[in-house]
Amino acid sequence: MPQQLQFNFAKPRDCTPEEQKEWMDGELTFWASITGKIIIGLSILQVALLGFMLGTMYIIGEILK
């Protein structure tokens, strides 16, 4: 009869100060700069889509008068 795999739910070890500095200077800095640009772009897109929606409602309202 097959047995279920055993999972290790133990807490992982804490990183060393060198590992933390390497991560913050490398991968973290890269993703922080990209995330800021993505948030700004998506915020502009959201405002533009809201404007298009309001414009469409206005045009439809004028046509149906």
Dihedral angle sign, alpha carbons of residues 25, 31, 34, 40: negative
β strands within 1-65, DSSP E: none
| The pLDDT of residue 6 | 82
Give the start-to-end residue ranges of the domains of the chain.
Answer: 29-65
Calpha distance 32→34 (Å, rounded): 6
How many residues are given for the chain? 65
CA distance 35 to 30: 9
**pLDDT on residue 10:** 81
What confidence tens digit (pLDDT) does each residue in 40-65 have? 999 999 999 999 999 999 999 999 88
* Average pLDDT along the chain: 90
Q: Can you tell me the mean pLDDT for 17-32?
A: 88
% of the chain surpassing 90 pLDDT: 54
What's the pTM value of the predicted model, to 2 decimals? Answer: 0.58
1 has pLDDT over 80: no
Query: Alpha-carbon distance 39 to 32, whole Å?
Result: 11
